[in-house]
Amino acid sequence: MDGRTIALIGFAALFFMLFIRMPVGGAMMLVGTWGIWMIRPQAALPKLAGEIFNEASNYPLTFIPLFVLMGNLAGVSGMSRDLHDAANAWLGHFRGGLASATVVGCAGVSALSGSSLAAALTMGRVALPEMQRYRYADGSVAAGGTLGILIPPSAGFVFYAILTEESIGRLFMAGVLPGLLLTLCFIGAIWIVVWRNPDAAPGHARALPLRARLRATGRASWITGIILLTIGGIYAGVFSAVEAAGIGVALALVVTACRRKLTRANLEEVFASTLKSSGTVFLILFGAFVFKSFIGFTGVTCTLSFWVEGLGLGGTRVVIAFLVLFIVLDMFMDGFAILVLTVPLVQPIIEPLGIDMIWFGVLMVIALEMGLISPPVGVNVFVVKGIAPGVPLGTIFRGILPFWCAMLVAMILVLLVVLVPGIALLLPNTMFG
């Protein structure tokens, strides 16, 4: 069999394994190793062992468990609740203010942990009881949690950077402005929904006195300080992403200890959750690089690149076509699975068209965010369902529809930035000169 036939069989086998719910990392390792063995038998096992060792010993990747640990510590120490309370103190008296405060809280937790699931789970435990008390829709927690894959430090950007060999720091900085834009789009979606249907988010609180607002903001100063220190330090070039994560974890531990939350039970919960999340991420990375090597052996990327070149399409049209493909795949596959499956195929096609891979990475991550709340897979929706078992899935999916539309609007706005590329890359270019 030639390389293209083996590639087609490999993709078919991989999709079947994902369909039967086999872990993404294990499926990619299995298919990738089989494919390499079919093309070059003597290289299969050395390539498998080599890729696993290379990624396991990749020092920059140590920031993943560190940032996950920092986010988990923020949860047990109460810092995430402080952030939500501060946002609610300023926004809660508006109609829809509680939902807006939840979105802001999710953005803050995302900036601390880099994990969409962690943001949804942490803020869900904090915000959902009060939102249900006042009969709010549950979509804002699921949607706000998706910010974790875009706002740095983002696990989605880390995966993308490793697969494309781009700078993690540049991708982090490129995600700041789109992350803030998407947060504003979510808040705008809440206000539009409330304007059309006031019963969707009843007003329930009077405006707090300025002193009470400042007091709530002061309690949230620890988490905001850690966020500004870590992200600001990376931007200023004071320290790397790994060093920022280490400093952030140390500060989070100090806050947790000062608040007398550093108990044995909390430590066991925090470290077990961190190990589980990090193990899942690294398994996907191992499989992604084995599968990427298999794709390289088949030569199918060159074939696809020549085919697209023959169509004579411009770079913007190709990007739009890929984004539509990602949105469709979002309905059936996990976002990280789409990322590791498609990037090795997409990169050789769009790079010769002059598309900046940093800018494309931001667009791709926004598209993958949509998958976190898209039926029927929507992982964040099931996180909210786990916290609020009494709420039907259909109700949650209806609640996230305005936020899905807000993501689409944000993607279109970021896509239009291609007309002024200096804006898209403003922070990365400022950071790296």
- 209 or 250: which carries more pLDDT confidence? 250
Number of domains in the chain: 1
pTM: 0.81
Percent of the chain whose predicted confidence (pLDDT) is above 90? 10
| pLDDT of amino acid 422 | 58
| pLDDT of amino acid 33 | 94
CB 44 within 8 A of CB 33: yes
Average pLDDT over residues 270-292: 85
Average pLDDT over residues 409-418: 77
The span from the CA of 206 to the CA of 1, in Å, is: 72
pLDDT higher than threshold 90 for residue 230 = no
Task: Provide the Cα torsion 289, 290, 291, 296; round to 10°.
Answer: 90
Residues in the chain: 433
pLDDT in tens, 106-164: 888 877 777 776 777 777 777 777 676 666 665 667 677 777 777 877 778 887 888 88
Average pLDDT over residues 219-247: 84
Q: Which of 316, 349, 389, 284 is nearest to 22 (CA)?
A: 284
Average pLDDT, the chain: 81
Token pair recorded at residue 245: 């994560």
- 97 or 427: which carries more pLDDT confidence? 97
Domain of 162 in residue numbering reads as 3-432
Instruction: Count how many Cα atoms sit within 13 Å of the Cα of residue 359 in the half-sphere of its side chain.
Output: 24
The span from the CA of 141 to the CA of 370, in Å, is: 14
- 421 or 237: which carries more pLDDT confidence? 237
Average pLDDT over residues 277-295: 84
Average pLDDT over residues 290-297: 86
pLDDT higher than threshold 60 for residue 433 = no
pLDDT in tens, 311-334: 777 777 888 888 888 888 777 666
